[in-house]
Structure 1
């Protein structure tokens, strides 16, 4: 299998048949064996029946149906798990992504990149509710993750199979796939893609999504930078707070012993002890996190590094070949 196309969907019945036709037209232009994996995220319409009828003329279609709605991230993970192609392409089912761009993404992957992200440079959405929040979120994400992309929210992406199987997602982190991929050293590129206005169905996103992005971004930043060394995350504020508290206690001790300053009615003394205790708690949190990290890696044999390729070194895969 050369290419796997992963498409999560939720109540997109009117869009599925035209989307399948567009995918077939796009993929017929390149000499690739492909599969199209639709992930039904608990739809209540007849989307699965539509796809079953599409299979009669397009046997490349495969459908995975969830028992209930688990969210787009879970649907994306399921699609990546079931994908068998050497290159995995993801896109939305609302037809705002143009399947005609898929060959360009695949060609870019074949230039040597691990992931190619779509950039909706002429986005056909409302400005205040969709485009402006997205622009602000993209700048914030790029600043915090150090992954410079114009468009994090574009689902249209292509990645190599080995990267797709390595990306670990949960919660609502599907929008941070490039940041997660960067964490394992993926070589990325960005390609301008066509973006179309929605013609059928209803959008599943609102302005509230922006606030969830900010919360997820905090999680991603922590996981990318401190997941293997939580003591550094908790220890720095712990040392700062504890140091300030200790300095205040030392000052008050000198004032009491050498200058006879009464301390019984000094709120500063209580504040100093609070800072010292909070600082110690932060450090203890970090130590507990360090122990959990060691348990996580050692119990599951998780690697602490990822190798792109080797020269002159035999691996199990090269021996099999």
Structure 2
């Protein structure tokens, strides 16, 4: 924790860069910006909202909020490229050594970010800890969505054994230098624990709050999500088989 001033100098080290991908989330962004600022009061932070070619006034609302929230940065994809690309673009632009992510629909609670960051950076953390992901114990979704998600998580856990039983949870923290070493592909954000472990780092999880969606609509159908998950799962399994363990790099 470095500063209570959200408008810290561009030269001052930051504790965390919060990256939020948004697409047609006009009704959620103002409240989410306000909540992030409140949750990270006392920390040196920036929040980077990446507008993935929204068709509503999401981008205009975010730009207007910059006058009130100096820690807010707004990026915009010229073409819709999906959540993983939006997150990647935000991480590339980020200045902090730790990245936090949130879904843009407001269902993740920004108040959970400090606890995840503290868990990642605690003095007694195991060597190599680089990722802490959220676990939604009390999900505020439809029964059909929860059943589909539970089935998908059981399948991926049986095959990947990465310890993640809630791969769709959008709130997480990860060390930026590690994130940038991960192989990029569409939907990679759903496989972060397995990809982190592929790089020889450790992943942990923590229970987080989950809220009802107040505005907007889900970008995926249950069937579409399942078909994408099965395709991506095969790709992640292949990536893990192609890893070569180098131990550690020593400079002499």
TM-score bracket, normalised by the shorter chain, equals: 0.7 to 0.9
- 2:246 corresponds to: 305
Which of 169, 172, 181 is 1:166 aligned to? 181
Quick check: 2:198–2:243 contact (8 Å CA) kept in 1?
A: no
Equivalenced residue count is 233
Structure (1/2) with the larger helix percentage: 1
- 2:115 corresponds to: 104
| Structure 1: gaps of 5 or more residues | 229-303, 316-321
Cα distance in 2 for partners of 1:26, 1:117 equals 17
Q: How does 1:115-126 map to 2 (within 5 A)?
A: 115-126=131-142
Cα distance in 1 for partners of 2:186, 2:62 equals 27
Q: What is the CA distance between 1:314 and its match in structure 2?
A: 5.4
Quick check: 1:39–1:66 contact (8 Å CA) kept in 2?
A: yes
The superposition leaves residues 134-171 of structure 1 with CA deviations (integer Å, 9 ceiling, x where unpaired) of: 11111111111120122111010101122122122212
RMSD: 1.6
Give the TM-score normalised by structure 1: 0.70
Quick check: 2:182–2:196 contact (8 Å CA) kept in 1?
A: yes
Q: Does 1:187 align with 2:202?
A: yes
- 2:19 corresponds to: 6
Cα distance in 2 for partners of 1:106, 1:173 equals 21
- 1:253 corresponds to: none
- 2:90 corresponds to: 79
Q: What is the CA distance between 1:76 and its match in structure 2?
A: 1.4
Give the TM-score normalised by structure 2: 0.88
Cα distance in 2 for partners of 1:74, 1:215 equals 18
Which of 51, 63, 66 is 2:77 aligned to? 66
Q: What is the CA distance between 1:81 and its match in structure 2?
A: 1.2
Between Structure 1 and Structure 2, whose CA radius of gyration is higher?
1
- 2:172 corresponds to: 157
Structure with higher RCO (Cα < 8 A, 6+ apart): 2
- 2:103 corresponds to: 92
Structure (1/2) with the larger strand percentage: 2
| Structure 2: gaps of 5 or more residues | 1-13
Cα distance in 2 for partners of 1:159, 1:108 equals 11
SS in 2 for 1:13: coil
Q: What is the CA distance between 1:227 and its match in structure 2?
A: 5.7
SS in 1 for 2:169: coil
SS in 1 for 2:21: strand
Quick check: 1:39–1:65 contact (8 Å CA) kept in 2?
A: yes
